[in-house]
Amino acid sequence: MSRQKGTGPGAFSPEGDPVELYAILRAGRTPQVVDAALPRKADVLELGAGTGRLTHPLVALGHQVVAVDHSADMLAKIEGAETVLAEIPDLHLGRTFDAVVLGSCLVNLPDAEVRYEMMAAARRHVRPGGRVLIERALPEWFTGVGEPRVWDDITATLLKVEQLTPDLVRALMEYRWQGRRWTHLQIVHFLGEATLDDYLEAVGLRRDEWITEDTSWLAASPVN
């Protein structure tokens, strides 16, 4: 049963995310950030692919993508890539990839064990010499309550932010598009560099570099 974390039209994923909203959200700079960190025509495993917001641009750029998500409704929106319906912590495909992408700030989920298992899943699916690309949420993303942000024809407004602990926030977003309205609740645990490095080391990875100036994306490699 879906743990619905908001309101609005259409189906919701098992985790409670609105499928139709994810289908219309823009990828922004993310495809260019990820593509620049990959070899040409890379074999990519994308964990938490959702409706293909990143998958489709990567395929268009010439990469071969295996898209993993635990929502059949989300995966049904993806075209041009192999899809796998699975929980990321339980994923064992029996093969490895040039790169594994753990985007959508999944490392910021509040459950520490789940965060660890997601990074472990990334590690066991990257081949020697490959890369794991990880996106983290930053505190400055959750500022400007009540100030609409417009991307093309989508308007997003941060309605409310609650600081539960120094590193944990609960934020309520509103999205409007072509007369439709969604609200979406997020609970985000912020991870500093040292904490991220501890997680990486625990699963057999090491951070190579930040691949964005704002340190929201990093590249890691397997430790031999």
Q: Dump pLDDT digits (tens) for 164-194.
A: 999 999 999 999 999 999 999 999 999 999 9
Q: Dump pLDDT digits (tens) for 115-135.
A: 999 999 999 999 999 999 999
CB 21 within 8 A of CB 15: no
pTM of the model: 0.95
For residues 214-224, give the mean pLDDT. 95
Measured CA to CA in angstroms, residue 135 lies from 4, 30, 102, 191, 220 at distances of 24, 10, 7, 11, 11
Tokens representing 155 are 């308007």
User: What local confidence, expressed as pLDDT, does residue 4 receive?
Assistant: 53
Q: Dump pLDDT digits (tens) for 146-162.
A: 999 998 899 999 999 99
